[in-house]
Chain A
Amino acid sequence: EVQLVESGGVVAQPGGSLRISCAASGFNFDDYAMHWVRQTPGRGLEWVSFITWDSVSISYADSVKGRFTVSRDNGRKSVFLQMNNLKDEDTALYYCTRGSQLGDVQYFQQWGQGTLVTVSS
């Protein structure tokens, strides 16, 4: 069974930093790209970042570019999102999602339960 378990969501101050993690199991982690997607009641679902299986290709939404950094550790079957210079609008439920294999159309095949990040003073 595919499992994606996010952790690390907390209350953080504006301008602060936070690192959230996602532990994967139940599939060959090395074969898949990974994404972070966030959700808020007001703005719905928003794609945040993408990383290929080998970390060679990485993309970010304009709203987080220059502030967030995605990384992965295939040996630990984990993906991370380092979030710096946090803003109020970063408050959201952050989902770790499994993308597609190399050569396939990228979409969000599997989703974790999410970790809640709240930015507030």
Chain B
Amino acid sequence: FLLTQPHSVSESPGKTVTISCTRTSGNIASNYVQWYQQRPGSSPTPVLFEDRRRPSGVPDRFSGSVDSTSNSASLTISGLQTEDEADYYCQSFDSDNWVFGGGTRLTVL
């Protein structure tokens, strides 16, 4: 299966942005979805795991959801800050195979 993300999104500081991740085959709800943030020049770090749980240290401005109707997961970032500008990748799993989405570049302008 594939995970499809928008190539890029942009929003102003203080606003809210949502990034989608659509699973092309199989049920999005059948395996947890994770989200990773990768700032320029840095390695990825998880910002959400098990659809909506935040690792220690990740602010509650980051939230996640899954929608079986659209077969997609979403990452929502509220109160955007300039430090949120990064690439975001969704990731899920099926049959001994871990799959990443193509990534979404978030620009905070």
Contact = CB atoms under 8 A, between A and B. Distances in A.
B36 to A, nearest CB: 7
Interface residues of B, number: 21
B44 A111 contact: yes
B72 interface: no
A30 B6 CA distance: 38
B107 to A, nearest CB: 18
Interface stretch (B11-19, B22-30, B61-69, B94-102): B94-102
Chain A, interface size: which category?
10 to 19
A107 interface: yes
Nearest to B55: A109
A108 B34 contact: yes
B2 to A, nearest CB: 12
Interface of A: 35, 44-47, 50, 59, 61-62, 95, 105-109, 111-114
Interface of B: 32, 34, 36, 43-46, 49-50, 55, 89, 91, 93, 96-103
